[in-house]
Amino acid sequence: MTLRYNPHSIEKQARKWPVLLCQTELYADVHFRIEQIWGEKPSGWLDAFACRSAIAGDLSAEFGVDACRIASVSADNTPAAAEKLLEPSFKWLAKIFGQFTGSSSDFSPVPWLEAAFIGRDLALQQKKYRTALTLVRKAARLSPPGNSLSSAEHALVTACLYPFAPLLATHLAAQKQSGIADLLTLADHFPELVCVRFALENGGWHQKVFDRASFANDPLQQLMQVKLVRKAVGSRSARISSSKQGLRICLC
């Protein structure tokens, strides 16, 4: 029998979870949860029901807390715009829920790791929560989860979902009899991959996940596979210099 996404059932169980922390403003809540999954804040359940989003009242009761959060972040927490995105947000969550019970042969941890690493900088340093959510949605499109995920892959997906849809993420994590993982520790479960922070000469910083062995063998060649790098370098020569922030691509 195929299970259907039922936010009311999930919320009924979630109300029994012991509340240790609380953030009443949506972006403060998202920010805190991202810090949690990166080990920068203590673990513990934040009361998702005490957090105010752009949608409240009857619509929140109908579509569920997580759908309201997704719609609100997608609309930059603007009530009128968020209400228009509520049904699509609910359908997206239902799709994610269904993917975990279906089969998928296309899963790759790369888009999810990039969503995690890049999203951390976007949210914590630049307060771009909507863009961070967009990366999670992109990862779900490029690399849909399935019922054959390894424990580490399952934990990676649920950790990425957690700041934006904490009830669904925690419910899915519990199916593996685990909590939300610490992404710093979790990244070690993918030793074949490496997330590289890089910048063009006099440009801003970017991050990309590469095959570790290929990058170690020829880092410049791997970076040249990135469209913005390839376009900037063109026919010129380039070299890489290292700094505390990451790798900088210098044009010759």
User: Does one domain contain both 136 and 64?
Assistant: yes
Query: What residues contact residue 83 under an 8 Å CB cut-off, 6+ apart?
Result: 54, 55, 59, 71
Domain end position, chosen among 188, 211, 236? 188
* Residues 105, 25 within the same domain: yes
pLDDT at 30: 97
The DSSP annotation for 25-36 comes to: BHHHHHHHHHHH
* 41 in the same domain as 149: yes
Q: Residues 140, 96: contact at Cβ < 8 Å?
A: yes
- H helices then E strands: how many in the chain? 14, 4
CA gap 84, 208 in Å, rounded: 33
Please give the chain's pLDDT, 252 residues, in tens.
567 999 999 999 999 988 888 899 999 999 999 999 999 998 888 999 999 888 878 888 899 999 999 999 999 989 999 999 999 999 999 999 999 987 766 899 999 999 999 999 999 999 999 999 999 999 999 999 988 899 999 999 999 999 999 999 999 999 887 889 999 899 899 999 999 999 998 889 999 999 999 999 999 999 999 999 999 999 889 999 998 899 999 987
Distance of CA 247 to the CA centre of its chain: 24
List the CATH number of the domain containing 181. Answer: 1.10.730
The three-state secondary structure class of 85 is: coil
210-248: pLDDT as tens digits: 999 999 999 999 999 999 999 999 988 999 999 889 999
Scan for tokens 């019922």, then name that residue: 147
pLDDT of residue 201: 86
Question: Looking at residue 165, what is its pLDDT?
Answer: 98
Domain check: are 174 and 84 in the same one? Answer: yes
What does the pLDDT read at residue 1? 55
What local confidence, expressed as pLDDT, does residue 92 receive? 98
Q: Which helix (H) or strand (E) holds 59?
A: helix 58-63
Helix (H) / strand (E) containing 251 = strand 247-251
Taking alpha carbons only, the member of 160, 166, 150 closest to residue 66 is 166
**In angstroms, rounded to a whole number, what is the distance separating the alpha carbons of residues 11 and 47?**
11
Q: How many domains does the chain contain in total?
A: 2
Predicted confidence at residue 176, as pLDDT, reads: 85
- 208's enclosing H/E stretch is strand 205-211
Choose the final residue of a domain: 165, 188, 211.
188
| 223 and 133 within one domain | no
In a domain, 2, yes or no: no
Q: Is the pTM of this model over 0.75?
A: yes
Structural domain of 201: 191-251
* Domain boundary, last residue among 188, 206, 221: 188
